[in-house]
Amino acid sequence: MSPDEPEDYVVNPNVYICDPIPQQTADQNRVYRFYDHLRENRLTTTECRACGKISWPPKIVCNACMSDDMQWVDFPDTGRIYAFTIQQAGIPPGFDAPLVTALIDFDNDVRIISVLIDTDPDKVTVGAEVALRVLPAPRDRVVFYFALV
């Protein structure tokens, strides 16, 4: 661990875990613009200019027609919960119980699975509207979740 690494990233100094947060710079990741957009509080993905398919997660090659002519497109501002679960035990490091995980549908026909943060589990319902939340992560990275609107 380097001296400038945030201590809150160390779950337990005696346990080695893989870094769960993707590398997010141009020299490390070919869809790094996705993370640049998150830093602007924009949720984006790629759309194929050849066939119009919207991919999730963002891709450099269309998985429908194999074209590499991709463009960035923004998601709608909100999505709606398709299904959810509330976890009471076995919570991943960095989260507290109860933890709400939801499948979220967007008007662009993309479904995303995500943890809901800053959310009262008693208020979560199928069809509820959720919006993007971007949080800072160690080493100048970001992570994204959703929260009830």
Three-state DSSP state, 73: strand
Exposure of 60 in the CB half-sphere (CA atoms within 13 A): 5
Residue of 26, 65, 91, 113 interacting with Zn ion (CB under 5 A): 65
- Minimum separation from the CB atom of position 63 to Zn ion (A): 8
Site for Zn ion (CB under 5 A): which residue of 11, 50, 113, 135? 50
Tell whether residue 17 is a contact of Zn ion (CB under 5 A): no
CB of 60 to Zn ion, least distance (A): 12
Q: Does 26 bind Zn ion (CB under 5 A)?
A: no
CA separation, residue 6 to residues 2, 3, 32, 106, 135 (Å): 9, 8, 22, 35, 15
Options 31, 62, 142, 143; binder of Zn ion; rule CB under 5 A: 62
Is 73 a binding residue for Zn ion by CB under 5 A? The answer is: no
The alpha-carbon radius of gyration of the chain (Å, integer) is 17
**48 touching Zn ion, by CB under 5 A:** yes
Question: Could you give the CA distance from residue 123 to residue 10 in angstroms, rounded to a whole number?
Answer: 32
Contact status: 97 vs Zn ion (CB under 5 A): no
67 binding Zn ion? (CB under 5 A): yes
